[in-house]
């Protein structure tokens, strides 16, 4: 197979699983800036975001064989990993912060970005609500689901999503709007016991 910048994400991930450095380089160049942007919006620290992006792509290199094309596109898989890692980072930082408060050592956390933590808290949906939303999301067409996940879970702008998916901006906005309308309908129907 000839690998170039037009090679699809699924093919690249299969090649990465086979240890193709060329495929990895193309995948990295295609998504590193978008992953950085999404992670930075969640954690709010440039140095931490840079380090986390490297960790995410090391994970991709080591675990590309876990990618399942039947469950979504390569970008969806990548941004799900990025979101999970960023949220784990926030939780870990919060846990260390709580331990430091218990032990009276608050010096490590003086530079905590309250706005970033607040933003991350609004993005972390827990418990039953999270399960309901995930169930409803899984019922959406793949294009709508991917656009919504990138916008609301990865924090990307419509323009960034358009560039990442190589789709016109208007198409991305339509997918998000229609997906949100269907998601709202599904959640309302489930709450009323109709699903």
User: pLDDT digit string (tens) for 102-146?
Assistant: 445 544 444 444 444 444 444 444 445 666 777 888 889 989 988
User: pLDDT digit string (tens) for 2-50?
Assistant: 888 889 999 999 999 999 999 999 999 999 999 999 898 888 889 999 9
Q: Which domains does the chain have, with CATH numbers?
A: 1-124 (1.10.1740.10), 125-190 (1.10.10.10)
Question: Around 44, how many Cα atoms within 13 Å sit in the side-chain half-sphere?
Answer: 13
- Give the model's pLDDT for residue 98: 53
For the four alpha carbons of 170, 6, 84 and 38, in that order, the dihedral sign comes to: negative
Max CA distance (Å), the chain: 59
Question: Around 178, how many Cα atoms within 13 Å sit in the side-chain half-sphere?
Answer: 15
Give the global pTM. 0.56
- Give the model's pLDDT for residue 134: 75
């Amino acid at each position: 197979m000839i690998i170039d910048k037009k090679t699809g994400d699924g093919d690249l991930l299969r090649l990465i699983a086979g240890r193709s450095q060329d495929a990895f380089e193309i995948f990295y160049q295609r998504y590193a800036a978008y992953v950085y942007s999404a992670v930075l919006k969640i954690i709010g620290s440039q140095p931490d975001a840079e380090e986390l992006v490297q960790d995410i792509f090391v994970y991709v290199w080591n675990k590309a064989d876990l990618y399942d094309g039947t469950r979504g596109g390569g970008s969806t898989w990548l941004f799900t990993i990025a979101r999970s890692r960023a949220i784990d980072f926030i939780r870990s930082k919060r846990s260390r912060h709580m331990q430091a408060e218990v032990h009276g050592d608050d010096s490590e956390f003086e530079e905590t970005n309250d706005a970033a933590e607040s933003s991350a808290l609004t993005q972390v949906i827990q418990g039953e609500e999270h399960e309901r939303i995930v169930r409803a999301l899984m019922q959406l067409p793949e294009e709508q689901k991917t656009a919504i996940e990138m916008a609301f879970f990865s924090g990307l702008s419509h323009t960034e999503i358009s560039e990442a998916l190589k789709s016109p901006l208007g198409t991305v906005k339509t997918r998000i709007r229609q997906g949100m309308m269907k998601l709202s309908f599904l959640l309302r129907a489930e709450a009323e016991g109709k699903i």
